[in-house]
Amino acid sequence: GAAWLDFYSGRAVESGRTVGAAVTLEHVPTYVRAGSIVPLGPSLQWALQRGPSADPVELRIYRGADCTTMLYEDDGVTTAYAGGGSATIPLAWEEATATLTIGQRTGGFEGMLLRRTFLV
């Protein structure tokens, strides 16, 4: 089966079995499939505190397999995405060489940041 990692510590969790874990208001056990790229924005007090295009974006790489995905963004407020008002950035992780490739952004929307900062 697939390998899973603890979201917070990165420790491997054996797949195919039940896992017991403590849950508190401050910590909910979360697991990520090995070979995942998880984009995270800055901590916000409410959803639109810093706007829909909060920067920088932290890219967490959960090693263990190759991965390709798309980072999707839109204005976060309107339905302009339905008419094409959105953008995507391709992301690819190659496990054998530990290489992250951030591709060219395509698309656009009103209020989009012209430059995006990534923390890996």
pLDDT tens, residue by residue, 26-36: 999 999 999 99
Q: Is the pLDDT of residue 93 over 80?
A: yes
- Structure confidence at residue 72 (pLDDT): 96
- pLDDT class for 14, splitting at 50, 70, 90? confident
Q: With respect to CATH, is domain 35-119 assigned 2.60.40.1180?
A: yes
- HEC readout, the chain: CCCEEECCCCCEECCCCCCCCCCCCCCCCCEEECCEEEEECCCCCCCCCCCCCCCCEEEEEECCCCEEEEEEEECCCCCHHHHCEEEEEEEEEECCCCEEEECCCEEECCCCCCCCCEEC
Instruction: Give the start-to-end residue ranges of the domains of the chain.
Output: 1-34, 35-119
Give the integer Cα–Cα distance in Å for 74 and 52.
7
Q: Is the pLDDT of residue 20 over 60?
A: yes
Mean pLDDT of the chain: 90
Q: Hey, what amino acid is at 33?
A: R
pLDDT tens, residue by residue, 53-72: 578 999 999 999 999 999 99
The whole model's pTM is what?
A: 0.85
